[in-house]
Amino acid sequence: SLEESPLWDIWYTGSTPFPSELLNPSLRASVFSGLLHPQDYSASTIINGDDDDDEVLLDMPDTTIVFQRYLQAGKMINVYDWFESFSIVLEAQRRRARTRGLSEDAQTPSRKGKQRQTEEVEDYPEESEEDSEKWKMEVQARFIRALHELDYIGLIKHTGRKADHVMRTVFDVPG
């Protein structure tokens, strides 16, 4: 039973010189680690071995995508430009998911030649105006949610001068 066993057998900290780091971890380092490397914390995020930043961003959560753009920005960030770069990444995600779905359909055996199959994969099904509008609203909602999460963490500050700009509050992000 736990009451009769020595604590050494129940919990061992190893040879760390400062066990207080295990008991009281740095919150700042934990938050940045989660934003920079979400695949370490989430099983649903799968990243290929590619080193291309845009390819890696396609598999990231929304907050991580917004945070990556945050790191590339200057002291003041134009929210509209930030939203546009975010929507470009989501549009690439959507295109890749469509291509993946169409290419899986094209792999079914048929009597068509290879050229005909590749032409079908390149043709996207036409999207109705209503679906397009729903997609735009979803992108806006996802961006606002990610932006509010960064605001809640304290990474951005609203400016009094320009309504469409926010200021960065963190400049030295551990890698």
Task: Name beta bridge partners: 166.
Answer: 77, 158
> Exposure string (b/e) for 61-84, b if CB count within 10 Å is 16 or more?
bbbbbbbbbbeeeeeebebeebbe
C-alpha 34/C-alpha 29 separation (Å) is 9
Confidence at residue 88, expressed as pLDDT on a 0 to 100 scale:
94
Helix (H) or strand (E) holding 63: helix 62-72
The radius of gyration computed from the CA coordinates of the chain, to the nearest angstrom, equals: 23
Cβ-based neighbours of 142, under 8 Å, separated by 6 or more: 62, 86, 90
Confidence at residue 19, expressed as pLDDT on a 0 to 100 scale:
67
Indicate the angle between helix axes 62-72 and 129-153, nearest 10 degrees: 70
pLDDT in tens, 78-123: 999 999 999 999 999 888 888 877 666 555 555 555 555 555 445 5
Closest CA to 151 of 70, 38, 58, 37: 70
Cβ-based neighbours of 112, under 8 Å, separated by 6 or more: none
Enumerate helices (H) and strands (E) in the chain, giving the number of each.
Answer: 8, 3
Q: What does each of the 175 residues of the chain score in pLDDT, given as a tens digit? A: 667 877 767 666 666 666 676 677 788 888 898 999 988 887 654 545 445 555 556 678 999 999 999 999 999 999 999 999 999 999 998 888 888 776 665 555 555 555 555 554 455 556 788 888 999 999 999 999 999 999 999 999 998 888 899 999 988 887 6
Confidence at residue 45, expressed as pLDDT on a 0 to 100 scale:
44
